[in-house]
Amino acid sequence: MLSNYFTVKKDGGSHEIIIQKSRFIGTIKRVESEEEAQNFIQELKKKYHDATHNCSAYIIGEHDQIQKANDDGEPSGTAGVPMLEVLKKQHLKDTAVVVTRYFGGIKLGAGGLIRAYGSSTSEAIKAVGIVKRQLMKGYSITVDYTLLGKLENELRNSEHILENIQYLENVAFIVYVEDGKETDFQNWITDLTSGQSTIQDVGEKYVEIEVESTKE
């Protein structure tokens, strides 16, 4: 498993721009298989069945094993490939994009199309948002309620991810720690609580951290 990677926010979304009277609607979605990507593309083609083009690109797999681009009737290499290049340039994984075009009557030429489809993809990514999926180790930290305020404040101001607080007989903090920092974290918690805490391993998982997208 990768220690971390970038992808788009889970719910996805779309963004529209107008270039020389043509409407370009970029729609982005996180996908984890080629079947899921193809289903997404077909859904958009059905939704925008009256559009001039529904061009697509996707990149899937831990090592970007699956990469596909489709111009859907635009001149070869002017739509799908530029869209795929934006995904690659932003280091996105498990991501599919469809750019829908409603022709506005003005031809853009090859260079103009490349820029238009690339920009539409970039703007859609920016609108939806990128997350860094970081593989982290989870811990349950159980303490007496007298330590609640102090420990919560310290955790919220730390680099670690405080996912949840469970208010039971004692209070339990569910915290995720970056790989390689487990020992330092446990020592830190022990010092903070003067040894009055129980630390239990709750396993690894990917934690999503929002990041800024870069320009095309």
Element (H, E) at 50: none
| SS3 state at 39 | helix
**Cα 8 from Cα 84, distance rounded (Å):** 14
**Cα 139 from Cα 188, distance rounded (Å):** 13
Over its length of 216 residues, how does the chain's per-residue pLDDT go in tens digits?
888 999 999 889 999 999 999 999 999 999 999 999 999 999 999 999 999 999 999 999 999 999 999 999 999 999 999 999 999 999 999 999 999 999 999 999 999 999 999 999 999 999 999 999 999 999 999 999 999 999 999 999 999 999 999 999 999 999 999 988 999 999 999 999 999 999 999 999 999 988 875 544
**Cα 102 from Cα 119, distance rounded (Å):** 16
Characterise 3 by phi-psi region: left (phi > 0), alpha (psi -120 to 50), beta (else).
Answer: alpha
Residue 53 phi/psi, 5-degree rounding, is -145, 150
Q: What is the pLDDT of residues 63-80, one digit of tens each?
A: 999 999 999 999 999 999
**Cα 41 from Cα 55, distance rounded (Å):** 9
Question: What pLDDT is stored for residue 25 in this prediction?
Answer: 98
| SS3 state at 135 | strand
Listed residue (122, 24, 11) closest to 72, CA to CA: 24
**Cα 39 from Cα 33, distance rounded (Å):** 10
Long-range contacts of 158-164 (CB under 8 A, 24+ apart): 160/185, 161/136, 161/207, 161/209, 163/138, 163/207
- According to DSSP, the β-strands at 198-211 and 130-143 are antiparallel
The domains of the chain, with CATH numbers, are 4-128 (3.30.230.30), 134-211 (3.30.70.240)
The torsion angle over the Cα atoms of residues 171, 136, 203 and 139, rounded to 10 degrees, is: -20
pTM over 0.85: no
Query: Residue 20: CB partners within 8 Å, gap ≥ 6?
Result: 104, 106, 108, 112
